[in-house]
Structure 1
Amino acid sequence: MSLPAPLDRAEAVVFDAYGTLLDVHSAVQRHAAAIGPEAQTLSETWRQKQLEYSWVLALCGRYAPFWTLTERALDYALAKHPGVDRGARGDLLEAYKALDAYPEVPGTLGALRRAGLKTAILSNGDTAMLDAAVRAACLGDHLDVVLSVDPAGTFKTSSRAYDLAPERLGVARERIVFLSSNRWDIAGAAAYGFAPVWVNRTGQPDEYPDLAPVRVIPSLGGLLA
């Protein structure tokens, strides 16, 4: 199978999980009818605060499991949107443990492995939540390794977090293609020395011009095109 750049020079393809393989908004979408008209903004607030908490802790040299940050972020989102019944909290957290995979994910992962490439997740998610998410989305058979940043004790974009992929896969960083839907994560991967591919699912404007992706695709389906 002839692979397009940068896959033609790669030995492994590593994916961010949340927002890249898994739809982070699917938890709220499942309960949108019960939540009401604030469902979309609630979900956006939840996601933004979840990421913000990880950045602040990393900058402060501190760490907490990503699931803890997910709970704290939801509590903030519910406080910010008082029109939403707080009784939905438990259902939303349970739904977040089993997020929907984007429809093209299993086929893309399968094609990469058939092409002889190693596949892995490298995520801020802690081990327990990643295990649950991968199991619920039935992705385990398509992945060689699922890596949480837990052993590094910090979050991406720290180089200690990215170090986990080449160390565990036994592949030099320059032979790893890294995919994320988060532009900040792509910037970190570029600085680290991966070949980063930005999965720009929502058509966001580019930023971080000095830390550019090697490719931009609208979904994982574009990776093999």
Structure 2
Amino acid sequence: MACSIYAFDAYGTLFDVHAAVRRHSAALGPDAAQFSTLWRAKQLEYSWVRTLAGRYQDFWALTEQALDFAFAATPSADPALRPHLLEAYRQLDCYPEVPELIRGLKREGKQLAILSNGTPDMLASAVSAAGLDGCFDAMLSVESIRAYKADSRVYDLATTHFRVYPEAVSFQSSNRWDIAGATAFGFRTVWINRTGAPNEYPDLSPAAVLPTLSGLVELG
């Protein structure tokens, strides 16, 4: 059965999380790539720990804290770049195939959502910067439940909003752990494996694996 609703993870799936550092890579110096990887890893780690501990802070606060850790762990990086990196993170580049894919799904009459750890302000800024204003029927943030992925309550935001069963939703994410959580919840899942990473969680397999979002429409 074809899905009527397409829900997308934001960071790493629609928007390139490394774009902020890439814009300032010359100023950051030779450790820029390592710095970006660490920033992202700590951002996610903090979200998992705070969900498990029941001590929620919003995703922008975690993004700032993770950036501060990356600076502390990377002596070659100049902390004066902090405000510039944070501003760049609010306006991340979307991946090249995203605009055409999103508009193609809209033309087919699909309902589209972003389902993200990001705050509403973060998501609105990213969508606007990508020129995708008005393309999504819903931008669903974990802020309303104060817990992060892969908590099942996050995925329930989509079924509650659209008043559907999980199997009506096709969920796309570049994060394998996110796909595992969404699969366990009952979504049809499509892993966007942009980095060619090895598979994990074999008991929670996606319905399909794609290297980019191109080709999603053909899955039906």
TM-score (norm: length of structure 2): 0.97
Once the two structures are TM-superposed, the CA of residue 28 in structure 1 deviates from its matched residue by 0.3
Query: For 1:125-140, what aligned pairs fall within 5 Å after superposition?
Result: 125-140=118-133
Contact kept in structure 2, 1:126 and 1:149, CA below 8 Å:
yes
* Residue 48 of structure 1: aligned partner: 41
Letter in 2 for 1:206: N
Once the two structures are TM-superposed, the CA of residue 63 in structure 1 deviates from its matched residue by 0.8
Question: Aligned with 2:134: secondary structure?
Answer: helix
- In structure 2, which of residues 201, 205, 209 is the aligned counterpart of residue 208 of structure 1? 201
Letter in 1 for 2:174: S
Contact kept in structure 2, 1:106 and 1:142, CA below 8 Å:
no
User: Does residue 171 of structure 2 align to residue 190 of structure 1?
Assistant: no
* Residue 32 of structure 1: aligned partner: 25
Q: Distance in 2 between matches of 1:57 and 1:140?
A: 31
What percent identity do the matched residue pairs reach? 55
Question: Aligned with 1:147: secondary structure?
Answer: strand
* Residue 101 of structure 1: aligned partner: 94
Letter in 2 for 1:144: D
Once the two structures are TM-superposed, the CA of residue 114 in structure 1 deviates from its matched residue by 1.1
Q: Distance in 2 between matches of 1:134 and 1:100?
A: 10
Q: Distance in 2 between matches of 1:88 and 1:153?
A: 30
Query: For 1:15-164, what aligned pairs fall within 5 Å after superposition?
Result: 15-164=8-157
TM-score (norm: length of structure 1): 0.95
Structure 1: unaligned runs, 5 residues or longer: 1-7
Question: Aligned with 1:131: secondary structure?
Answer: helix
Once the two structures are TM-superposed, the CA of residue 171 in structure 1 deviates from its matched residue by 2.5
Once the two structures are TM-superposed, the CA of residue 141 in structure 1 deviates from its matched residue by 2.4
Q: Distance in 2 between matches of 1:169 and 1:62?
A: 28
Q: Distance in 2 between matches of 1:113 and 1:127?
A: 22
Question: Aligned with 1:202: secondary structure?
Answer: coil
Once the two structures are TM-superposed, the CA of residue 224 in structure 1 deviates from its matched residue by 2.3
Q: Distance in 2 between matches of 1:113 and 1:170?
A: 19
Once the two structures are TM-superposed, the CA of residue 167 in structure 1 deviates from its matched residue by 1.0
Q: Distance in 2 between matches of 1:37 and 1:170?
A: 49
Q: Distance in 1 between matches of 2:129 and 2:165?
A: 31
C-alpha RMSD over aligned residues: 0.9
- Residues paired across the two proteins, number: 218
Structure 1 stretches of at least 4 aligned residues deviating more than 2 Å after TM superposition: none
Q: Distance in 2 between matches of 1:171 and 1:24?
A: 30
